[in-house]
Structure 1
């Protein structure tokens, strides 16, 4: 049951709700969504277990700030006018709690998901420059257990991430996390681009040409050391998708 205190908090965090709604609309714009499935969530910056998440039943293209729902770690809706889908709570609440990441983006975006269906399960971070930004940042969950319909499955996924920011979930999709929404969203977008490039390269049937691990790690460090590009990208999306 929503209380006046939670409603006041909901009003105070209108800019954060607006940014989460923007990220969802951008993901639809970039072809990363899947109907009304999948979820983005952002923890409140107050140290509580409360976080914002997109509601059940709305297409990402139509979500606005007032559609975003405030929930607690037990799945109780604290503020907002919509319900929240069960699997969203089990995955997102666990990842926020176990990893400590403020932002959790879960999608079944096409090319990244395609790689979870292969024997390798994941992106090769020694191939394209775009893939190198993720070198050392990816965890692979090689065990598919069906829909995440209980907290144990969510916690298994979260613990398997080992604190890393990206997880490839076998036969399922991906999770991209971070401390900031703009940084995490650009990572999500760039991850799908890197997966697209790898799938296209593999489709030629010609031998691939990876770089050595040391160079891939150096490129990852270069990109992580300067994230202004991520912030400018999100500001451009704010102009393009008001």
Structure 2
């Protein structure tokens, strides 16, 4: 074999090796690129098993969280009154108590007044305010009890002038109201049995007639 032929074969061998190396390099480059990687094929059955194992736990956790949030959420109670409202209510109670105390005190003074007129006239003296109070409360059996009413009735038997006119007007209004109730077919026994009606009739009968 001559020199030219040997040189030609060597050159052909070198070209073949270079071509082989290039092909290997191209394959390596393709495998190293992220976009060119082949997707891993997974078994569908294994995916189903995985979901079945994880899903129930998540649902239980969700239920637990929902239960905890329901139990821990505080129930809304009644709204507490403000300090201003408490202060206002306290003041109203105090005023009501003072009025009641004042009313009872006035009642006691009026009872003492009319009792002295009956049993101790030497110690009694006329007081217009006590007389006016009695005129305004004669029909109230809580303030003028039944034990005192006959004495008060006797006291007003001799009243004249403006006091008599006021008493007559007040008692007539009570009786007229009862008559209107009777006209509306209400129970006669129940209406006429009231303490106010009975006392009003007794006062009218006890008052002196005008001359």
Fold conserved (TM > 0.5)?
Answer: no
**TM-score scaled by length of structure 1:** 0.19
Choose between structure 1 and 2 for higher RCO, CA contacts under 8 A separated by at least 6 residues. 1
Higher strand share: 1
Structure of greater Rg: 2
**TM-score scaled by length of structure 2:** 0.21
